Amino acid sequence: MKFHKVDGGITAAQGFKAAGIHCGIKKNKKDLALIYSELPAHAAGVYTKNRFAAAPVIVSREHLASGGARAIIINSGNANACTGQQGLEDARMMAEITAKHLGLSAAEVVVASTGVIGEYLPMETVSAGIEQIVGSLSKQGGADAAEAIMTTDLAEKVTAYSLEIGGMKVTVGGIAKGSGMIHPNMATMLGFITTDCAIAPGLLHKALLYTVDRSYNLITVDGDTSTNDMVVALANGMAENPLITSENDDYHRFLAVLQRVNTELSQKIVRDGEGATKFLEVTINHAASFVDAKKLAMGILNSSLVKTAFFGEDANWGRIVSAMGQSDVDFRPELVNIWLGDLQVTKDGQGLRFDEGRAKEILQKKDIKITVDLGMGGETVTAWGTDLSYDYVTINASYRS
């Protein structure tokens, strides 16, 4: 398949506009974003499994049950989580005000929030901001929207690709935010996808679930799953490709480009991980199943001892095997081979004599690949994570201030 990287991010696909403004939730940074489809769109969402799901997650799940949506309103700086009935009323009010100014029904509006947990939204400020942002919608507003959803992020997460499907050019674009509290059990902190592909809502949802499990669900920064995690996709059909109603070749082409977008966004989140100095890529080869390989990869990446070893540039492969061994995956240690970059450090479950100088060269790089061969099956899974640095502790010791 020939993918084409295109500009525009969340507004790269036909029929989408966006905006991002400062409305006053934060002191001086953009804090309100809006994404809008000019035509009715099929919609799908994937949500956090954190038991303390935030009010906007609950409301958006209700609204997306119909399989359609036209707009997504997002605020940063306040999570509207653990805010009880008032929080639910505020999230619904955000949808209602947005719908009123766009001429939609409230059920056509998705609501998302990110920021500090346990504080009520300043609704007068938010309401005035929504009225303002609707007038700011434009085809060029994607970059502002990407900036407005950021919290501790240091960089915007934006990408878009096009691919021919059914003889027509189809585009998929997206934005995401996330830097800390990254250990998704469904998605990332926040991710939003737009496409002009014509695809049935059930298949859009299936494609989103599949690609989320192989992108955002394979990243980790600190092992914490947020209360507000959400990924939402809108598909308005303006590419005019034949409607995808079955898992045919067109569906698999769409799946491939959606996977490309979600994988790139998820990797951008890891690269922007709070305090991160290393980008770690763990590949598990020859596993018995996808689930087994995922558990092992994430077990390695979530180990504080593994993380600190890579921060210290110490080729301590013993921490890797220890992290694997404490999982509930059934594998044979005597078959395990491990590489750091292109340097093999274990063979058949036992340590090898290796060039410490070469190991140091590999670990001094920003991007480090760890490869584990289980020698048991045909499944391969790659996951991504970060090291654990002094700066991570500093950032999160004073997050509320």
Which residues carry out catalysis?
A: 188
Q: Locate 110 and state its tokens.
A: 């998705």
CA 63 to CA 353: how far, in whole Å? Answer: 59
Residue at token pair 């525009």: 8
Residue 338, judged by CB atoms within 10 A of its CB (0-12, 13-18, 19+), counts as buried
Residue at token pair 């960089």: 155
Residue at token pair 């989580």: 81
Sign of the dihedral through C-alpha 103, 105, 106, 108: negative
Longest dimension (CA), the chain: 69
Q: Locate 47 and state its tokens.
A: 């949500």
Residue 98: phi, psi to the nearest 5?
A: -60, -45
Q: Which neighbouring-strand residues pair with 36?
A: 17, 71
CA 57 to CA 48: how far, in whole Å? Answer: 8
- Whether 374 and 336 have beta carbons less than 8 Å apart is answered as yes
CA 69 to CA 235: how far, in whole Å? Answer: 9
Residue 55, judged by CB atoms within 10 A of its CB (0-12, 13-18, 19+), counts as buried
CA 275 to CA 187: how far, in whole Å? Answer: 21
**Cβ within 8 Å of residue 113, ≥6 positions away:** 54, 55, 56, 74, 75, 76, 78, 79, 80, 81, 91, 121, 228
CA 121 to CA 142: how far, in whole Å? Answer: 24
What three-state secondary structure class fits 357? helix
CA 305 to CA 295: how far, in whole Å? Answer: 17
